[in-house]
């Protein structure tokens, strides 16, 4: 059976962030992930994980000014120093939190730039980040994001991510495969997972349309969960969806769709 991690950025949002750890454990989750830890003291976060018997499986590298609409800076040639400083900060948090992998949101293209213009910056930044993470015993992930939700995002398809992995050439670089984003951009979920499982480091889920919990949309999650098991994926699946009502009321899918 798949192992599910609660995404604390999306779930249990009716609670203050630091209270979501206990609530996630009470809801039956054994692991959590979330966008960013940097607004909180790393030792307080580590204590919350330990007190509730939780494993943290993921957080992101710093991604610029999130509140202003930035979604990563790895594709910004004029912000390389900021990106590299953020890598060090992310590793510091991950080491304290026991988090084994970090996701790099590559970002939206700078105004007036093309993908070809910024690709060398992306590759150089990913090589730097992968090297630094490898020294700390961590994996680096890159995530294709659908361009309906985030127009202009540099990385939007699995084949683009695979090409970046080839260009960077780092043994610890993998794809974060978000089922929702992949469904919106390309479909072929089962075949893609089967073909590229060795290069996928983490999976996330939500249904489409609406990014709701599994079972609310068009994705055949009962089949997909069985398929993910059958191909030998042993990692966590991050639950990064928008509950229709409250998180707890919407958790019935975990039993009904995985039976």
CATH code assigned at 244: 3.20.20.150
* pLDDT tens digits for range 137-193: 999 999 999 999 999 999 999 999 999 999 999 999 999 999 999 999 999 999 999
Contact status, residue 231 vs residue 194, Cβ threshold 8 Å: yes
The answer to whether residue 143 is catalytic is yes
Catalytic residue among 22, 82, 134, 143: 143
pLDDT of residue 259: 77
Catalytic residue among 30, 70, 240, 249: 240
Place of tokens 């080491």: 95
Total count of domains within the chain: 1
pLDDT of residue 134: 98
* pLDDT tens digits for range 33-84: 999 999 999 999 999 999 999 999 999 999 999 999 999 999 999 999 999 9
Q: Give the integer Cα–Cα distance in Å for 188 and 242.
A: 23
**181 Cβ neighbours under 8 A, 6+ residues apart:** 143, 144, 145, 146, 149, 156
**80 Cβ neighbours under 8 A, 6+ residues apart:** 121, 124, 125
pLDDT of residue 131: 98
Sort residue 92 into left (φ over 0), alpha (ψ -120 to 50) or beta: alpha
**167 Cβ neighbours under 8 A, 6+ residues apart:** 123
Place of tokens 């930044």: 125
pLDDT of residue 107: 98
pLDDT at 1 over 90: no
**Chain mean pLDDT for the chain:** 97
Q: pTM value?
A: 0.97
| Residues paired with 163 in a beta bridge | none
Of 249, 72, 53, give the one whose Cα is nearest residue 155: 72
Domain of 125 in residue numbering reads as 3-256
The answer to whether residue 240 is catalytic is yes
What is the enclosing helix (H) or strand (E) of 127? helix 115-135
Of 47, 45, 79, 46, give the one whose Cα is nearest residue 62: 79
Tokens linked to 16: 């203050």
pLDDT of residue 127: 98
Q: Give the integer Cα–Cα distance in Å for 221 and 126.
A: 32
């Amino acid at each position: 059976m798949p192992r599910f991690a609660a995404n604390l950025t999306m779930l249990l949002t009716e609670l203050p962030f630091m209270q979501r750890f206990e609530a996630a454990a009470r809801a039956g989750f054994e692991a959590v992930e979330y966008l960013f830890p940097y607004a909180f003291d790393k030792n307080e976060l580590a204590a919350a994980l330990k007190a509730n018997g939780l494993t943290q499986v993921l957080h992101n590298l710093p991604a610029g000014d999130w509140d202003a609409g930035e979604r990563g800076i790895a594709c910004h040639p004029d912000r390389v120093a900021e990106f590299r400083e953020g890598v060090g900060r992310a590793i510091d948090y991950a080491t304290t939190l026991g988090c084994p992998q970090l996701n790099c949101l590559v970002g939206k293209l700078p105004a007036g730039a093309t993908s070809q213009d910024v690709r060398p910056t992306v590759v150089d930044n990913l090589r730097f980040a992968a090297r630094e993470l490898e020294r700390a015993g961590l994996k680096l992930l890159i995530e294709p994001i659908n361009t309906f939700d985030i127009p202009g995002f540099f990385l939007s398809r699995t084949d683009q991510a695979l090409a970046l992995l080839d260009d960077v050439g780092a043994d610890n670089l993998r794809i974060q495969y978000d089922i929702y984003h992949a469904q919106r951009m390309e479909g072929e979920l089962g075949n893609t997972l089967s073909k590229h499982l060795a290069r996928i480091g983490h999976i996330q889920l939500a249904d489409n349309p609406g990014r709701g919990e599994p079972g609310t949309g068009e994705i055949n999650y009962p089949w997909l969960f069985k398929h993910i098991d059958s191909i030998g994926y042993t990692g966590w699946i991050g639950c990064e969806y928008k509950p229709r009502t409250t998180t707890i009321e919407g958790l019935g899918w975990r039993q009904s769709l995985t039976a």
